[in-house]
Amino acid sequence: GSTIGILGGGQLGRMMANAGSAMGYRFVALDPTPDAPCGQVARQIVAAYDDRDAAKELAERADVITYEFENVDAGVAAMLMEQSYVPQGSELLYTTQHRLREKRAIEAAGVKVAPYAEVRSADELREAVSRFGLPCVLKTATGGYDGKGQWVIRGEAEVDEAFETLNRAGTELVVEQFIRFQKELSVIAARSPQGEIRTFPAAENIHVDNILHLSIVPARIDAELQREAERLAARIAEGLGAVGLIAVELFLTEDGELFVNELAPRPHNSGHYTMEACRTSQFEQHVRAVCGLPLGDTSLLTPVVMVNVLGEHVEPLLALVAEQDASAERLGVAPKIHLYGKHEAKPKRKMGHVNVLAENAEQALAWISETNIWRV
């Protein structure tokens, strides 16, 4: 069988390797943390992501190379492409590494994003803020995740401080109009090198402290909007010429309009529900796409709510699984627990997730609430 190399060895790589191993592929991951989540289920090269010798070793060992995060050094990506097969190419990385480039690519695909402006000075920021109205969201163009590198500007008086704080290292910035969304949604699309595209059912996402807390599927919106969200994601996958997965985060406004928030060219936390709830998981689909196989059926098998397990949730969750779960039995739900094998359960750190399979979202949400693990 062939070997798939993964740049990055976190939980996304681990779940990719688990899905792909079942299909007969071997995996090797490059990650600086010894015994990384993926390294526990695959071979691991322990080295920095931008270590040229390690990247060379990865290229030598792998027949196909993919990545599990988008901040891959452009030089490393170029080198890997020379020495191995990188079906996703470097263009997709280049685009999604930078919020401005990403927004322009989404617009070029004919899909709407929230009104935004490039910001090079406090004056430019002031001008944009007066055009969009308050609040506005100032974001670093590169490197942000879990809401890091963002500032919600609520008053004119914050403009200078917001600009100076985020621009500290000369980082490029983008400001967006604050969207008073009714819901946040996401759709994961897959595209093969042959151009086949399939989308997964839209998830309704609830964040707490800018970290994904719940994904509810089917999203509690009408069927036409669900289809529209999937169509937009397919159009983006096509427009960007993506290969592999592309996750599309969306805002649904009170008026029923859809705006794209951001993209991720990889498996996405809001797609973890697919592991038991769809005929094909996002991880299997990604492996299929990068290996040039026909894509799998993305049909939903059951309603599901995915809840993230952060550091502070691990202990009570382990206590719960050691007991007979009367609440699950009464509600008729099946909580499927996934832990990533991370060594330190720091607060707010993503340690795992639970896919709560149920007759409907209400029963899954009732179970989550009755466990008292997630106090939100």
Please give the annotated binding residues, written as ranges. Answer: 99, 139, 144-150, 176-179, 184, 207, 261-262
- The three-class DSSP label of residue 5 is strand
| Positions 250 through 279 that interact with ligand ATP (CB under 6 A) | 261-262
Rounded Cα distance, 264 and 262, in Å: 7
Contact by Cβ (8 Å): 149, 210: no
Please select the residue that binds ligand ATP; options are 2, 121, 130, 210, rule is CB under 6 A. 210
Rounded Cα distance, 296 and 122, in Å: 49
When CB distances are held under 5 to 8 angstroms depending on the partner's kind, the choice from Mg ion, ligand ATP, none that residue 131 binds is none
When CB distances are held under 5 to 8 angstroms depending on the partner's kind, the choice from Mg ion, ligand ATP, none that residue 68 binds is none
Rounded Cα distance, 106 and 100, in Å: 10
| Positions 235 through 294 that interact with Mg ion (CB under 5 A) | 249, 262
If one counts every other C-beta atom within 10 angstroms of the C-beta of residue 91, the result is 14
CB of 20 or CB of 267, closer to ligand ATP: 267
CB of 212 to ligand ATP, least distance (A): 7
Please select the residue that binds ligand ATP; options are 15, 72, 105, 114, rule is CB under 6 A. 114
CB of 337 to ligand ATP, least distance (A): 22
Comparing C-alpha atoms, which of 112, 111, 106 is closest to residue 92?
106
Please select the residue that binds ligand ATP; options are 32, 87, 144, 311, rule is CB under 6 A. 144
CB of 37 or CB of 265, closer to Mg ion: 265
If one counts every other C-beta atom within 10 angstroms of the C-beta of residue 67, the result is 26
Contact status: 145 vs ligand ATP (CB under 6 A): yes
Please select the residue that binds ligand ATP; options are 38, 137, 305, 361, rule is CB under 6 A. 137
Q: Binding-site residue total for ligand ATP (CB under 6 A)?
A: 16
The b/e string for 110-148 (b: 16+ C-beta within 10 A; e otherwise) is: ebebbbbbebeeeeebeebbeebeeebbbbbbbebeeee
Backbone angles phi, psi at 40, to 5 degrees: -75, -20
Contact status: 71 vs ligand ATP (CB under 6 A): no
Rounded Cα distance, 184 and 250, in Å: 6
CB of 343 to Mg ion, least distance (A): 25
When CB distances are held under 5 to 8 angstroms depending on the partner's kind, the choice from ligand ATP, Mg ion, none that residue 178 binds is ligand ATP
Backbone angles phi, psi at 213, to 5 degrees: -105, -55
Please select the residue that binds ligand ATP; options are 131, 207, 220, 343, rule is CB under 6 A. 207
CB of 185 to ligand ATP, least distance (A): 10
CB of 309 to ligand ATP, least distance (A): 16
Contact by Cβ (8 Å): 84, 28: no
CB of 137 to ligand ATP, least distance (A): 4
CB of 69 or CB of 85, closer to ligand ATP: 69
- The three-class DSSP label of residue 166 is helix
Comparing C-alpha atoms, which of 258, 278, 124 is closest to residue 190?
278
| Positions 165 through 194 that interact with ligand ATP (CB under 6 A) | 176, 178-179, 184
Binding-site entries for ATP: 99, 139, 144-150, 176-179, 184, 207, 261-262
Strand partners, 253: 181
CB of 350 to ligand ATP, least distance (A): 10
Rounded Cα distance, 89 and 109, in Å: 19
Contacts for 235 with CB less than 8 Å, ≥ 6 apart: 109, 110, 111
CB of 210 or CB of 372, closer to Mg ion: 210
Interface residues with ligand ATP (CB under 6 A)?
Answer: 114, 137, 144-148, 176, 178-179, 184, 207, 210, 249, 261-262
Interface residues with Mg ion (CB under 5 A)?
Answer: 249, 262
